[in-house]
Chains A and B, each alone.
Chain A
Amino acid sequence: MKDDTARTDPGTGAGPAVSPAARRERPRPLWPHTVAFPGLAALAVLAAVFLPAPLAVILAFFTGSLCVWSAVDMASRVRASERERSSLDAQLIQSQKLAAIGELSSGIAHEINNPLAVMAQEAEWMTHLMGRPDPTPENLAELRDSLSEIVRQVDRCKTITHNLLNFSRKMEPVPQEERLERIMEDMVLLVEKEAGHKGVTIARDYDTALPPIRTDVPLLRQVILNLLLNAFQAIEGRGAITVSTRKAGEGRVAIVVADTGVGIPPENLPKIFNPFFTTKPPGQGTGLGLSLCHGIVDRLGGAITVESEPGKGSAFTVTLPA
């Protein structure tokens, strides 16, 4: 029987053998810097006690040179490692962007293809009606109905594309006055249908007495949408999301997005706003959503906090200047 074990990498116990090129790229050992040179320096200090002064000076220069070389080598390794890390970070960000674009494109295609399909069918039905020899009042009424349906579907597409344009706007805050519950409601409507399909209900608890706030509306929408999607994804099976607005002390307002999802383990709570932190399986989450929210809320002069209990759900609170 042929033995395949020789073809595996003894370091990992699996996979192909390491090529000579890969062997050459193995990191150089650290022991000369951590053991040999410090040991040599210590010996030189001890030897200086017994040796004549000229020899002690030569030995000091020699070990000093070795230590300088060691420090320069270590510094160059640290620089190379930082360069490699920043290059990996850039690649990671690029791949996250591509994943996000892919997901977004699929969602947009679905949202646009459905109204397009209705419009195409109405046009075909109108062509069919107009092909009839004698137009009856019923036919004309149907033609008018088809036309108004096309207009409705165009509006539906317009809403989708306008939301996307708002979403992709530049990041510098441009304050404008708007009612908080209206900003919330715009985003809730965007996800409510999808949520309904998955058995997730969205409850509203808006404080309608709140006066309009001055904030960058598209940026805040982006935060709310991210929080809603997070809440939606945290719910396995059926559940509920509650969105609310309220006063949060003098000159501040708060929005809360709470879910009955899986919750966040206490050990993960300090990390959830870190870029690229995700508990989703590989390829299913960019780990950038909450980090982006944190950055935006910070720019808007607000703060974002979270309370969570594993198995019961989470509540994200965004406080903003009124």
Chain B
Amino acid sequence: MPDPIRVLVVDDEDRFRTTLVKLLGTQGVVAEAAPDGAAALALLSEKPFDVVLLDVKMPGLSGQEVLPRIKAIAPGTEVLVLTGHASVDIAAEMIAGGAADYLLKPCPLDELMGCVRAVYDRRRAVGPK
């Protein structure tokens, strides 16, 4: 049986974070959550994750500020931006900064899982970094 996908949800919206972790659990994903960028970086330096679902507007470090730090701590971890902020400029900036994709809230679970699996498979195909 393949290893489950390990996902870290980084979002300052409490209810969104906790429900998403439960929903990802129903899909066989091992999910954990962090309320802000600093907590996410602390978790990433403790244990490996395959995919990070990253919000943009957060207290403290913003998504744009956290992204390069995630890439520095865990270069092999894929980052999917999941935000309610509909800005083409920010999307382009984050994709250029190494994010695998930019998803706009509300994003249906099957669509989100499709993206998570796609970036996970791509990561596996490239091999562990």
Where the two chains meet, the residues of A that have a C-beta atom closer than 8 Å to any C-beta of B are: 106, 109-114, 116-122, 124-125, 128, 149, 196-197
Contact = CB atoms under 8 A, between A and B. Distances in A.
Contacts of B57: 110, 197
Interface string B44-74: 0000000000000111101000000000000
Contacts of A120: 106-108
Prevailing SS type, chain A contact patch: helix
Nearest to B104: A113
Interface of B: 13, 15-16, 19-20, 22-23, 26, 57-60, 62, 83-87, 104-109
B26 A118 contact: no
Prevailing SS type, chain B contact patch: loop
A51 B26 CA distance: 110
Contacts of B16: 114, 117-118, 121
B13 A114 contact: yes
Given A106-B87, A109-B86, A113-B86, A122 B19 contact: yes
Contacts of A119: 106
Given A106-B85, A106-B87, A124-B23, A113 B15 contact: no
**Which of B20, B60, B106: most chain A Cβ within 10 A?**
B106
Contacts of B62: 197
Given A106-B86, A106-B87, A124-B23, A197 B58 contact: yes
Nearest to A108: B86
A109 B84 contact: yes
B33 to A, nearest CB: 13
Contacts of A112: 84
22 contacts: A106-B86, A109-B86, A110-B83, A110-B85, A111-B84, A113-B84, A113-B105, A114-B84, A114-B105, A116-B84, A116-B105, A118-B13, A118-B15, A118-B16, A120-B106, A121-B20, A122-B15, A124-B23, A125-B22, A125-B23, A149-B15, A197-B57
A157 to B, nearest CB: 12
Contacts of B20: 121
Contacts of A118: 13, 15-16, 19
